Amino acid sequence: MVSSITGERRVLATSPGGVVELPALRDRLGVFRDRARAGEVLAGMLNAYRGSNALVLGIPAGGAPVAAAIARALALPLDVAVVSKLTLPWNTEAGYGALAFDGTLRLNESLVARAGLSDTDIETGKERAQEKVIRRVKLLRGDRPFPDLSQCSVILVDDGLASGFTLMVAIEALRHQKAGNIVVAVPTAQAESAARIAPLVEALYCPNLRTGTSFAVADAYQEWSDVAEESVVALLTDSARR
């Protein structure tokens, strides 16, 4: 299978874990200029969905610029699936679970045990995640009803896949919304985590699959920074205008 990406021709392949990848980008670092460029590369891999009935759902905040670039390139509508990590009290970058917009919750029980988290720690983490999810849903979606996912394909997008807990919870929440066909699209992923996610969906696309135990999403990007919620609002507004 061959995909045309901004003038280049790159061969797509399916890994043993069932992930559609670009072998030329496997195990490489700094392969994307930024999240928007990563979305353009993914759009080339997802060209079969151009102008279809698919809905692009970005996981904010970092997944939104990637999703917006895909939606723009493929002439598809854009929306968000809000999910928040439950983070360790002493490290807000490390998550031990995730909570979705519909209340779906998943904990990494092995990490909870290794970290020695108390019931109080976990409840505090849940409360903080819930507050964040409620605030973001209100900010990004307002009072709009969630789309009818039974009538379309869903392209679920994040800016990377490390442990996979955020995506697992997002997928479960979308199944609760009667989504029948879910495709995951991430620019970069830890190979073993991607292989665990792939059986949960109809397809998983990842141009930059990386093996090994040391993995950071940011390492796939030349330019990396936090995405402001105001930027996500602007991306959604621009997509709706188009």
- Residue 75 tokens read as 């002439």
So what's the pLDDT on residue 5?
40
- Residue 141 tokens read as 């979606």
Tokens 């610029």 found at: 65
Q: Using 50, 70 and 90 to split pLDDT, how confident is the model at 213? A: confident
Sketch the domain layout of the chain as residue ranges. 2-82+146-241, 85-140
So what's the pLDDT on residue 69?
98
**All residues at 6 or more sequence positions from 152 whose CB lies less than 8 Å from its CB, including other chains:** 53, 54, 55, 181
Nearest-angstrom CA–CA distance, 239 and 229:
16
Q: Please give the mean pLDDT across all residues of the chain.
A: 91
- Residue 222 tokens read as 């030349």
So what's the pLDDT on residue 129?
93
142: left (phi over 0), alpha (psi -120 to 50) or beta: left
So what's the pLDDT on residue 8?
40
Q: What average pLDDT does the segment 156-165 reach? A: 94
Q: Three-state SS string across the chain, please?
A: CEEEECCEEEECEECCCCEEECHHHCCCCCCECCHHHHHHHHHHHCHHHCCCCCEEEECCCCHHHHHHHHHHHHCCCEEECCEEEEEECCEEEEEEEEEECCCCEEECHHHHHHHCCCHHHHHHHHHHHHHHHHHHHHHHHCCCCCCCHHHCEEEEECCCECCCHHHHHHHHHHHHCCCCEEEEECCEEEHHHHHHHHHHCCEEECCEEECCCCCCHHHHECCCCCCCHHHHHHHHHHHHHC
Contacts 24+ apart (CB under 8 A), 195-198: 195/15, 195/16, 195/17, 195/18, 195/19, 196/164, 197/161, 197/164, 197/167, 197/168, 197/171, 198/17, 198/18, 198/19
So what's the pLDDT on residue 92?
66
Most confident option among 1-15, 94-108, 192-206? 192-206
Percent of the chain whose pLDDT exceeds 70: 95
212 CB-side CA count, 13 A: 9
* CATH 3.40.50.2300 given to domain 2-82+146-241: no
Q: Using 50, 70 and 90 to split pLDDT, how confident is the model at 2? A: very low
Q: Using 50, 70 and 90 to split pLDDT, how confident is the model at 104? A: very high
Give this prediction's pTM. 0.92
| Residue 208: how many other CB atoms lie within 10 Å | 25
pLDDT tens readout for residues 55-100: 999 999 999 999 999 999 999 999 999 999 988 777 766 778 899 9
